[in-house]
Amino acid sequence: MSIEGLPTRGANRTARQSVQAMMEVILGWLPLLVLSVLLLVTIWLVRTAPSAVPMANIKAPQHLADYDVQQFTLNTYSLSGQLQSCMVGKSAEHYEDSLTTLVQNPKLLMYSKDGRVTKASAKRALSNEDGSEVQLMGQAEVYRAPSLDQPQPLLVKSEFLQFFANTDSMQTDMPVLVTRGANSFRSDKLTADNLNQTLKMHGRVKVVLHPEHQTP
């Protein structure tokens, strides 16, 4: 592991606090992202599910889309009418054989109660039937805007990000870049577990940390 841009000895405590704060933020938005995607996929499946097919017409499953939607926008609101999330996609296709839904060019916006916006996008997104596993594939990005308690924005970028709602975790087996303000982490693989509050980086890891307060 190579570390660049480390602060001076007097700022070591600030550097450790920066690393800890970055990990807390990364693990903090996982439940919101996974639950939002799960909710959107579930609502979409309910709205677009085809009518029941007579038993005599049932055929062996094939890897062909049994139904799809084009240029869709799906919004979810709270009971008070406040917008909670918005998903926009070029198309979405449901596959009967694998019980998965493939979304092309998905863009997801999630709004927290304090007004913070979390954005997620990729070339494609693949979800299983109940939305408990969601994969972002191709130029996957998750961005969390700054707020009063977290004044620095957070950005996660990789060619592949996989989310698991049941275990409240995220992983990728491809190179990933995590930035929070001026600090950044690079690694070959990443595993984030929100239940156990752990963040593991594997392979070649490169860390660049900057002290929050420069000493004269």
CA distance 25 to 172: 18
Q: Model confidence over 127-176: pLDDT tens digits?
A: 887 777 888 999 999 888 887 777 888 899 999 998 887 777 889 999 99
Q: Domain spanning 2-46+65-208 has what CATH number?
A: 2.60.450.10
DSSP per residue, the chain: -EEESPPPGGGHHHHHHHHHHHHHHHHHHHHHHHHHHHHHHHHHHHHHPPPPPPGGG-----SSEEEEEEEEEEEEE-TTS-EEEEEEEEEEEEETTTTEEEEES-EEEEE-TTS-EEEEE-SEEEEETTSSEEEEEEEEEEEE---SS--S-EEEEEEEEEEETTTTEEEESS-EEEEETTEEEEESEEEEETTTTEEEEESS-EEE---SS---
Vertex 44: Cα angle to 27 and 109 (nearest 5): 40
**In the predicted model, is pLDDT for residue 9 greater than 50?**
no
Q: Model confidence over 31-61: pLDDT tens digits?
A: 666 666 666 666 666 556 565 555 555 555 5
| Maximum mean pLDDT: which of 80-89, 127-136, 146-155, 202-211 | 202-211
pTM over 0.75? The answer is no
Vertex 106: Cα angle to 23 and 135 (nearest 5): 55
Tell me the pLDDT band of 4, cut-offs 50, 70 and 90: very low
The ranges assigned to domains in the chain are: 2-46+65-208
